[in-house]
Amino acid sequence: MNKNITLTIDNKTITAPEGANLLEAATSNGIAIPHLCYHRKLTATGACRLCIVKIEGQRGLVASCAVGVQEGMTVTAFDDELEEVRAYLLDYLLSEHNEAYDGSYSDEFRELTKRYGLKDKEMRLFPPLWKSLNYPQDESSPVLSYDATKCIKCFRCIKACDEVQGKNVLSFSQRGISSYIVGGFGVWDESECDGCGECIQLCPTGAIVEKAHRSSINLENGIRKVRTTCPYCGVGCQLELLISNGKIVRSNGVEGVSPNDGRLCVKGRFGYDFAAHPDRLTTPLIKKNGRFVEATWDEALGLVATRFSEVREKYGRKALAGYASAKTTNEDNYLFMKLIRMVFGNNNVDYCTRLCHASTVTAMLRSLGDGAGSNSIEDYEHSDCILITGNNMIETHPVTATFVKHAAQRKGAGIIIIDPKWTPMVKDARIWLQPRLGTDVALLNGMIRTIISEGLIDGDFIEQRVDGGMKAFEALRSLTEKYTPGYVEEVTGVPGKLMQEAARMYACADRPLIATGMGYSQQVTGTHNVFCLINMMLITGQIGRPGAGLNPPRGQNNVQGVSDVGASPFTYPGYVPVDDDDNRRRVADIWGVPFESLDGEKGLSTVEIMQAAWDGKIRAMYIMGENPMLTDPNLNHAEEALKKLDFLVVQDIFHTDTTPYADVILPATSFAESEGTYVNSDRRVLRVRKAVDPPGEARQDWEIINEIAKRMGTSLGDYQKESDIWEEIARAAPIFAGISYERLEQQGIQWPCPHKDHPGTATLFEERFNTSNGLARLHPVDYVEQSERTSAEYPFILNTGRILYQYHSSTMSRRNKALTDYANEAYVLMHPDDAEKQGLSDRQKVNIASPRGQIGEITLRVSSEVLPGELFMPFHFPEAPVNKLTRDELDPYSRIAPFKLSAVSVEKI
């Protein structure tokens, strides 16, 4: 860190880090030097020249954006000469600029022209030249408009795309005064622009503006702004929502605040229209004679309470179960979990983590004592080696990917990709290992063997911080000895030398991070996959410091938080086991209930609940914000299970693939109508704030849950507002003890935060692991061939996953025109060699079948993104329910299903 120095600007003495940008130093000390081309996130351009200053001892006028501060520097920022030159420069820029302003965008240039008196045309020296230059307009993008008549050629949009987002899609066409911005080779919609909108946010003139709701926005009249957290993936981007006439009309990234520092992806910036969609559920619905009819809240809640109570009395407390939701707040999920435990009387509560990251959490808990990411998202930017395993980060966590790309493109970090499918990050990777599906354990054990045989282990770390020290290490060394480069290549298809190169790169790095995704976790060997990653990390000592560790990016906005607050069949809030009597006594005391009333047996996990429903052991279910009829494995089996239930309640914001099976549907609020908190992928507790009123009679989830509990004869607590619930969560979960709504007002706090004066914890395991003895544990595991194999009848292995423009079961994302304009069709990828053998062609419609089911009318995309013999399909689309093909076999440790490996056939239609 640079030392602070003192300098003088206009007779004001200020302090700043040595070498800091002079313009930034002035601005942060309240000295507003005019500028247009400079932005703190970008390298200096010096194009507009408005930030000129005089520096004692230097000749001429100097662009302050291109100067680093030095001790004793004396600067003049404002005098008559400087102001005269600035007015001249602005006057010249105005001559090339269309001044028409519709109030729909923030215009820094317009504000400066007013400041310097140039709104009065009689004060100008230059005639308007822009009308004669035939500047183009580009309306081809689904999400933005470009008007070259408003462009001042400041480079901010070009640099925003390149330096912040790492995409480099924008550039200049033509030269000199005739130049203008183009996307790709000339037409925005034909370029690689993915609609993130960073160029919009950083444009200082309105040359690039959002299309959506533009006619409804007047920033000078009637716009209200609300800061909240994005409802999509687990990055937790901070949003500033613009509200007009009770509707969200724009979403901006909040600058200068973690984790996104103003960055957004296309969903965060343009995916908010679902909140006001006419399909929203607005009133309770009860199924009568096979049809849903509208009901009052009193009638619906009374029926729910009565039927749940009847099932409990007739079949016992273990005959009920609930699915919590990764889309709703911590406060909602905490009360949902309390209802299952206090009112239903069991621990049969789970949610979608059992279908995504359960393997990762299980392995990390057993090895490290904690299942959350060990580092901050910003750490990726400072890492020198990033190992990305089974994670299409650019599409699933686009903002996190910007930090990764910055490390690679600007700082020379090496990226290693382990993925059987090509992902966009491969373009920035130094090494891409493409193993056959299901062979990850063999590949990682080969990397471990290389590290050991070449002496790249950290013996001190093993001896001091690994349980069993070198004795435990010897067991791992012995097991991995057979994983020679030749054997690994035979099993995985990965060239042995390339595998060894990746192992060396990771082991020798100073600050390596691992980002592991659902490609690793959604297998019956998912826990073993992550054990291998952890084994490699521990023997090299690559954890427990900033920039080094293991980080599983969470797929939904509050996946992390739901586990944290205890919506798990195995743990109470803060990951304390439900079958430990001391834990039960502590929780019972906080909840004010008898110790004996809390079930001391572990509950059923997500897939086990559905199996128990099929078996007739679960007779009633409460599903909040989940859509198992699209996201659960082996959907035909799941459908039969739901049909067997005596009673089903679904609580959601839209009709889903699951609501037709419900007896009662309860309308809930979306993120935009809710108060509360989420926890993002780097353990950061973030505020969610109400921006608009709920539609019709929709209520926030926790209010519905609380009322059901009361009607079933149990009070969950005297909660008047969301902060009351959070205060109880902070008592129940020690990791949250020091976090309050008041402390979260300006920025998020990373857990663990043990007391109110604690700043939060950016990096885990710096001194000890969260195990009973503070030591990490190695878990040597062998490669075992997957039970699902190809055959003559089912000759392909199907992989499934996500795409950038849709989200989960698409109930939210598909109700945004900006997103569906980019992608709104199911498809299957097949290697060109396979397509040729099958006599299939690109864009042809095909049927796909597995031993469990079939789906039809799927568009075939012939692509070398997948290996021969392997296929890929996104799971978002109800008309192509890919989980009819997947199986519900479970990882024995994490109870996760193998969404990533299904034997299938493909036939032309």
123: number of Cβ within 10 Å: 12
Q: What is the mean pLDDT of the chain?
A: 95
Average the pLDDT over 585-613 and give the result.
Answer: 95
For 293, the token pair is: 């009819």
**Model pLDDT for residues 661-679, shown as the tens digit of each residue:** 999 999 999 999 999 999 9
Q: Is 166 exposed, middle or buried (0-12, 13-18, 19+ CB in 10 A)?
A: buried
**Model pLDDT for residues 88-106, shown as the tens digit of each residue:** 999 999 988 999 999 999 9
Average the pLDDT over 391-397 and give the result.
Answer: 95
Chain-centre distance for alpha carbon 239: 14
**Model pLDDT for residues 827-852, shown as the tens digit of each residue:** 999 999 999 999 999 999 999 999 99
Average the pLDDT over 859-877 and give the result.
Answer: 96
- Answer positive or negative: Cα dihedral of 467, 468, 470, 476: negative
pTM score over 0.85: yes
Strand order in the sheet with 385-389: 431-433, 414-418, 385-389, 512-516, 549-551
- Helix %, strand %, coil % of the chain (to 5): 35, 20, 45
| Beta carbons of 900 and 800 less than 8 angstroms apart | yes
Average the pLDDT over 548-576 and give the result.
Answer: 94
| pLDDT for position 259 | 97
| pLDDT for position 877 | 95
Tally the C-alpha atoms within 13 A of residue 896's C-alpha that lie toward its C-beta.
30
Worst-scoring range by mean pLDDT, 355-364, 390-399, 427-436, 536-545? 355-364
Q: Please give the DSSP secondary-structure letter assigned to residue 3.
A: P
Q: Is the pLDDT of residue 124 over 80?
A: no
Average the pLDDT over 640-644 and give the result.
Answer: 96
Q: Is the pLDDT of residue 522 over 90?
A: no
- Nearest-CA neighbor of 789 among 494, 438, 442? 438
Strand partners, 3: none
Strand order in the sheet with 62-63: 12-17, 4-9, 74-76, 52-55, 62-63
User: Any residues with CB less than 8 A from the CB of 571 and at least 6 apart, and which?
Assistant: 563, 577, 578
Worst-scoring range by mean pLDDT, 213-222, 375-384, 755-764, 827-836? 213-222
- Nearest-CA neighbor of 865 among 829, 903, 900, 837? 829
Read off the amino acid at residue 295: A
Worst-scoring range by mean pLDDT, 125-139, 400-414, 442-456, 480-494? 125-139
Average the pLDDT over 886-903 and give the result.
Answer: 87
| pLDDT for position 523 | 86
Residue 131 phi, psi (nearest 5): -65, -25
| Beta carbons of 419 and 434 less than 8 angstroms apart | yes
| pLDDT for position 210 | 97
Average the pLDDT over 467-472 and give the result.
Answer: 96
Confidence of residue 1 (pLDDT cuts 50, 70, 90): low
Q: Is the pLDDT of residue 354 over 80?
A: no
Tally the C-alpha atoms within 13 A of residue 491's C-alpha that lie toward its C-beta.
22
| Beta carbons of 669 and 694 less than 8 angstroms apart | yes
| pLDDT for position 262 | 97
Confidence of residue 894 (pLDDT cuts 50, 70, 90): confident
Chain-centre distance for alpha carbon 211: 25
